[in-house]
Every structure is written in structure tokens, then in C-alpha cells.
Homo-oligomer: A and B are copies of this chain.
Amino acid sequence: MPLRVVQTIDEVRAALTARRESGAIGLVPTMGALHAGHARLVERARAECATVVVSIFINPLQFDRADDLARYPRPLEADLALCERLGVDAVFAPSAEEIYPEPPDVRVHVGQTAKYLCGAFRPGHFDGVATVVLKLFDIVQPDVAYFGEKDAQQLAIIRRMVADLNVPVKIAPVATVREADGLALSSRNQHLNAAERALAPALFRALTAAKNAVAAGVSDAEAVKRAATGTVPVDDRLRIEYLELVDPRTFQPVERITGPVVAAGALWVGSTRLIDNVLCTPP
């Protein structure tokens, strides 16, 4: 079936009504600027669902900085070509006015799960994410929705939202795709110049150091974090925003490691902010 590109809520609902009986509908929510990490999500959806919908929407509600929103990449043509190649059935690419005809007065609010890490450094970010994801779920009404593990706190929050609000959608996590040197794929990587790109794998190396320390039996979180941050080169272009060990479900910081924890970090490389995470399991 050829790729259908739809811009309005009415169109996407109409396009899906007939397909609902043919089997499961899979949704891959994205902000576009698709890379191999997104492709992995789509491939999983394609393998598991009768109908695959990719949404491309740069959600203004989740940007805490106007400059970040303004410079977020928007290569729509290339995105559509990739979707076509991957056998996507429909791309839903609405305007901001279609999604927010007026500022939403009723929103989704995330509590403790958004308190630390990105939630602490990006005020309102996760309320914006949760609100738009719930809207996309209510618009598309998918059976399954696919999210990358790279955005681990986002994934934990979406799972919590689905549980707390009884949202009838199954959440499918998909493993992070990495470059050969460990750098997690991200639409923001294209902002890096060559020198910054060479420095960027420092984040994954630090998180891997945390993983190794936990695997070696270090149970004091401060000691693990020191081992991790100690691997980051001293360089004016690198600034660690946070590097934390948190409970995989609640995303609350852990002091003593007695079970699996997520090592999560945000690293500024020049003017680009990168995030990544690694699951750490004690011996």
C-alpha cells in the first residue's frame, strides 16, 4: 500500500477507521529528523502490526528553550522518503494549530517521575511530552506504541501515564541504536561539528564506566558516579549537566545499589545537549 501523508485529525481518524479491522495499529510518535534509531522503531512496528502510523510533530509544549525549538531540524522530504522505504502506511504530520487550536487548559501533569534528571533541568518538558503523547494516542488510537530506550525517563513516564490513566495502549520499548564509537543516535547529533562529534562519545563511555563499576560490586552510588564522571575529558566544550543512578521504574535517585539501576546522563557538547542511559546490574 502506498504511503499516505495526512495533516488533519479528521483525516487520520478516517484513514484508520477502515484499517482497524485488519489487525493491530502500531504508532511510532516522532519529531521527525528521522535516523536509524527511528528506523528500528518502525521496523519493529512493521513486523508486529497490520498498520503502521508514524507521527511527525515538533511539539512546542515540550520545549523549554525557544532557540532549541527554532533550530530543531525539519527535513520532511527525507523523512517521508524513509517512511516510504520502510513500508509505513500513514504519516500524520499535523501543524501546531491543528494540535493546539488554543493553548490547552487541561494538560497531563507528571509528578515524582519527572522530578529529577531531564525533568529537573527542563521545566515543564515532561508535562508537554505526556500531554502530546496522550493526544496522539487519543487521535490515532493505536494498539501498540513504540518508544526508544534512549529517552529512558520519557519511556518511564509514558509507561506510568498508561498505568495511572488506564490508557488502552501497549507500550513497546526499543533498544538504543549507537554509532560504532558508542554515541547514541539522536536528531541533535547533526548539530555537532567534527571536533564536537569526536568528543561526544564521552557520555556513553562514562555511563559504561558506571555499568562496569556496578557489575564489579560497587554499591555506593556516589562512588559509581565518581568512577563515571572521572572518565569525561577535561575540555571547555564538555559540561556534564547531570549523571545520576535511578530506579528503573520510578526514576528516583538511588543511594545504595541493591538491584538494577539506570545510569542516566546529560552532557553539553558545545551548544548541543546530548542524553543517554545504560542499565546497570549488580553482580
Interface residues of A in 22-44 (CB under 8 A from B): none
Query: A193 within 8 Å of B by Cβ?
Result: no
Q: Is A208 positioned at the interface, with any CB of B under 8 Å from its CB?
A: no
Interface segment, one of A72-80, A109-117, A173-181, A216-224: A109-117
Q: Does A97 contact B (CB under 8 A)?
A: no
B106 contacts A109, C-beta separation under 8 Å: yes
Interface residues of A in 71-110 (CB under 8 A from B): 104-110
Choose one: B110, B135, B160, B166; the contact of A165 (CB below 8 Å): B135
Min CB distance, A207 to chain B, in Å? 25
- The answer to whether A104 touches B164 (Cβ under 8 A) is yes
A126 and chain B: residue at smallest CB distance: B106
Contact with B along A129-160 (1 / 0, CB 8 A): 01100110011010000000000000001001
A9 within 8 A of B: yes
Check if A109 sits within 8 Å of B107, measured CB to CB. yes
Q: Give the number of times this chain occurs in the complex, counting copies.
A: 2
Say yes or no for A5: interface residue by CB 8 A criterion.
no
Is A50 located at the chain interface by the 8 A CB criterion? no
Q: Residues of B contacting A130 with CB < 8 Å?
A: 106
* A279 contacts the other chain (CB 8 A): no
Contacts of A161 in B (CB 8 A): 106
Q: Tell me, rounded to whole Å, the shortest Cβ–Cβ distance linking A108 to chain B.
A: 6
Q: Which residue in B104, B160, B166 is a CB contact (below 8 Å) of A105?
A: B160
Q: Which of A106, A161, A165 has most B Cβ within 10 Å?
A: A106
Q: How far is B263's CA from A18's CA once the two chains are assembled, in angstroms?
A: 45
- CB<8 Å pairs between A and B, sample of 22: A9-B166, A104-B165, A105-B112, A105-B113, A105-B164, A106-B108, A106-B110, A106-B111, A106-B130, A106-B157, A106-B164, A107-B109, A107-B111, A107-B164, A108-B165, A109-B109, A109-B127, A131-B165, A135-B165, A138-B165, A138-B166, A139-B166
